[in-house]
Chains A and B, each alone.
Chain A
Amino acid sequence: MIRKSVPVLTIVALILGLWYLGAWGMNRQWALDQAARAEVTLSEAEIFVDTMSQDRPKLPAPHQVAVELWETVAMKSPTSRRSLLFHGWITLSATLAGFAIGAVAGMLLAVGIVHNRAMDMSVMPWAIASQTIPILAIAPMIIVVLNSVGVSGLLPKALISAYLSFFPVVVGMVKGLRAPDAMQLDLLRTYNASASQGFWKLRLPASLPYLFASLKIAIAASLVGAIVGELPTGAVRGLGARLLAGSYYGQTVQIWSALIGAAVLAGLMVGAIGLMERQVLKRMGMAR
């Protein structure tokens, strides 16, 4: 335990140290300008204290973000609009809905690609093209188009999120479904097995380790999609709205706390997939 935690804590301390150093360097000019305007001179110690406690710092110090997180997570009712949990839940629900759509679509596309020659030739180029378009460009269009047919709220955001998350699932699942080698396929041929037996008994189980790896990437991409999807909705609710509002009003502390919130959310979701992966592979006898 100690052998593991010492290096981890060292890295964390290093990052925090760099962060404080950055906050001091970047907020210094503001402190000096304010002092000049008030026609006072500050000692280096006073400047340092000021850079750590500005209202709208260029780079907020870690403890400022921590205080903001504490106040918006623990001190507010989760139903309040000022609670980060409230906004986090809005984003999380869109993320999970989008991830579910994206994962199912990705798996179905992969099965089609592996079993149908026409799909094999035609789907992949489109899937790749879809990912080369910046999501920031396409997200407002999806929102506007869906809004004009009367669909708003969670679904448009979920669709943007699905748009980002289906791709890693397709790529990983195709790779996984094609993982069985020629010998494995020949063996099934000697049993005169049907294509669907080959799928359920060989290809699908063989693809699961690949699937889980790509689901981890997909759920993180889903979160990015949901946040981006919240930006063009006029910044009402969700972590994306917090980010946008923060940047409108120069509330850097709020931006950073929303960023940290998003990072924690992503970490928890990837961790949950990892837990599921371990359970499933253990039950299948593939975890040693």
Chain B
Amino acid sequence: MQTPVIEARGLDLTFQTNDGPVQALSNIDLTIERGEFVSFIGPSGCGKTTFLRCVAALETPTGGSLTVNGLSPEAARQARSYGYVFQAAGLYPWRTIAGNVRLPLEIMGFPRAEMTERVARVLDLVELTGFGQKFPWQLSGGMQQRASIARALAFDADILLMDEPFGALDEIVRDHLNEQLLALWARTDKTIGFVTHSIPEAVYLSTKIVVMSPRPGRIADIIDSPLPRERPLDIRDSPEFIAVAHRVREGLRAGLQGAEAA
């Protein structure tokens, strides 16, 4: 059997704040296999972003075990095994779109010719061919976010971690980007971890949905989606889709009630 891409066992993370300790993650057990598209959904404070940041070694867990590609998260970060897409595009205003996509390649020391080739390829992948010489402010918010996805794809990490990448965009743009993201996933066969607080987005995109609940952040339900990998937008009107969305909603509600009771 293959090693799982991400494996968490009894993962805990407690932040020491001025108001005392806050338990952000409690006893997280999760296995993500190669090629899965996993969404993390839950209300704010449920630890979905924190979990993603632990995988990226941007936070350090205080208990339990976590491996990424069979390595510790820190070793996986140093091996540059993942691309991370943040909530905001965060493009450098002084670099062109191509220049921004080239940034990780420059840092990782790719040869010049290969950089040019890779930039062209990933810009094509996110349908931004022809915009390479534009500056970020000349592009719409949705295009900027696509450029930031291209930047995360440029160095061919096999894991893509996305923290509410479309949260700040309107629904029409978001639908379009979701479709593009699925197509991109199908073409590249990456493992994707995707944080969202939109139920339709989570159900539409994912092969596995992790429903989380707050105080302390924990997993309320893990749903393996019965939907096929091929997903046109109107699959969202199908009974299977609605059934999964219903189960996610139930999980969220149960988690919140549990949090209030506790």
Contact = CB atoms under 8 A, between A and B. Distances in A.
B243 to A, nearest CB: 36
A192 B103 contact: no
B103 to A, nearest CB: 7
B167 interface: no
Contacts of A206: 92, 94
A117 interface: no
Contact of B80 (A186, A188, A191, A288): A191
Interface stretch (B20-28, B63-71, B81-89, B189-197): B81-89
Given A186-B58, A190-B82, A288 B137 contact: yes
A286 B88 CA distance: 19
B35 to A, nearest CB: 21
A183 interface: yes
B135 interface: yes
Interface string A185-229: 011111111000100011001101000000000000000000000
Contact of B93 (A188, A191, A285): A285
B96 interface: yes
B103 A190 contact: no
A186 B84 CA distance: 9
Contacts of A192: 77-78, 80, 107-108
Interface string B108-124: 10000000000000000
A38 interface: no
B144 to A, nearest CB: 14
B127 interface: no
B106 interface: yes
Given A186-B58, A286-B94, A197 B107 contact: yes
Given A183-B88, A186-B58, A191 B94 contact: no
Contact of A189 (B77, B88, B135): B77
A286 B93 CA distance: 6
Contact of B58 (A189, A193, A208): A189
A187 B90 contact: yes
B68 to A, nearest CB: 12
A284 interface: yes
A41 interface: no
Main SS at interface, chain A? helix
B236 interface: no
B172 to A, nearest CB: 26
Contacts of B78: 192
Interface residues of A, number: 20
A184 B90 contact: yes
B2 to A, nearest CB: 24
Contact of B56 (A190, A193, A284, A285): A190
Nearest to B137: A288
A134 to B, nearest CB: 40
Contacts of A184: 90
B215 interface: no
Given A189-B58, A190-B58, A192-B77, A183 B86 contact: yes
Contact of A191 (B88, B92, B96, B104): B104
Contacts of B82: 190
Given A192-B78, A193-B107, A201-B103, A187 B84 contact: yes
Contacts of A202: 92
Given A190-B56, A197-B107, A202-B92, A285 B84 contact: no
B96 A285 contact: yes
A201 B106 contact: yes
B84 A188 contact: no
Contacts of B104: 191
A22 to B, nearest CB: 48
A165 to B, nearest CB: 26
B95 interface: yes
A1 B90 CA distance: 39
A284 B95 CA distance: 7
A285 B95 contact: yes
B86 A187 contact: yes
A187 B82 CA distance: 11
B93 A190 contact: no
Contacts of A197: 107
Nearest to B83: A190
Given A190-B77, A191-B80, A192-B78, A285 B94 contact: yes
A189 B83 CA distance: 11
Nearest to B133: A285
A183 B107 contact: no
Given A187-B84, A189-B58, A205 B77 contact: no
**Pairs of residues from A and B, 8 with the lowest C-beta to C-beta distance, nearest first:** A284-B94, A285-B135, A190-B84, A193-B107, A191-B107, A191-B104, A205-B94, A192-B78
13 contacts: A183-B86, A183-B88, A183-B90, A186-B86, A187-B86, A187-B90, A189-B57, A189-B77, A192-B77, A192-B78, A197-B107, A205-B94, A206-B94
